[in-house]
A and B are shown apart, each in its own frame.
Chain A
Amino acid sequence: DQQVKQNSPSLSVQEGRISILNCDYTNSMFDYFLWYKKYPAEGPTFLISISSIKDKNEDGRFTVFLNKSAKHLSLHIVPSQPGDSAVYFCAARSNSGYSTLTFGKGTMLLVSP
């Protein structure tokens, strides 16, 4: 049972345009969400996070939106750059005691010049 779903395996965007990566979750106990970025042959690196008490968090070109009623979050990258080409993982953590992160399958973003 996949609790964190990234239904788009890949996304292609032109440089300068907006990239929107989506993530859905099923566990209503999740209260903290993170996005990680992964380049080939490297480990994932933390990008941005959001707590369930917020509906938006912004960090430079990256914004994460959370819609709790729809159990949906999205990562917006504006403007997209070729260096953003990577696999993006959505992850979530529940509020029950000590909780580990549950990851989605990832979306491969390709930003073309």
Chain B
Amino acid sequence: NAGVTQTPKFRILKIGQSMTLQCTQDMNHNYMYWYRQDPGMGLKLIYYSVGAGITDKGEVPNGYNVSRSTTEDFPLRLELAAPSQTSVYFCASSPGQGELFFGSGTQLSVL
């Protein structure tokens, strides 16, 4: 099992550009999450999904969109990149409400 796979690992965007962060998991987990981690800060929840076709906002959803058309994939979309979105993004999945399994992260810089 590969677990949770995130692509790309690094990306530099210009202000106003858009991009999609990809996340896929092969553990057949129903629950998936997107977090961001700013320097010296904890993980902040952006969006989560409890199953295919169901998504909900987390603590910091502004500027992002998600979709969940399959159990495996949970892409995160940035429509108009802003410097405030410079962060490390982590995707995670879980079989239930217990522990989360994280991907290795995407480091995004918006300049």
Interface residues of A (CB under 8 A from B): 4, 6, 9, 32, 34, 41-46, 49, 89, 93, 98-101, 103-106
Contact = CB atoms under 8 A, between A and B. Distances in A.
Contact of A9 (B35, B40, B44): B40
A37 B16 CA distance: 34
A105 B103 contact: no
Given A98-B50, A100-B48, A100-B58, A44 B98 contact: no
A67 B41 CA distance: 25
7 contacts: A32-B97, A41-B105, A44-B43, A44-B102, A93-B97, A98-B97, A103-B43
A100 B33 contact: yes
B100 interface: yes
A105 B102 contact: no
Range of interface residues on B (Cβ < 8 Å): 20 to 34
Interface string B73-107: 00000000000000000101000011111111100
Contacts of B42: 4, 6, 89, 103-106
What's the dominant secondary structure at chain A's contact region? loop
A9 B40 CA distance: 8
- Output the residue of A45, A93, A103 with the most chain B CB within 10 A: A103
A46 B99 contact: yes
Contacts of B4: 43
A74 to B, nearest CB: 17
Contacts, number: 48
Contact of B102 (A45, A104, A106): A45
A46 B43 CA distance: 14
Nearest to A2: B42
6 interchain residue pairs of minimum CB distance: A43-B102, A103-B42, A46-B99, A103-B43, A105-B42, A43-B104
Contacts of B108: none
Nearest to A45: B102
Nearest to B107: A41
B96 to A, nearest CB: 10
A41 B97 contact: no
A41 B104 contact: yes
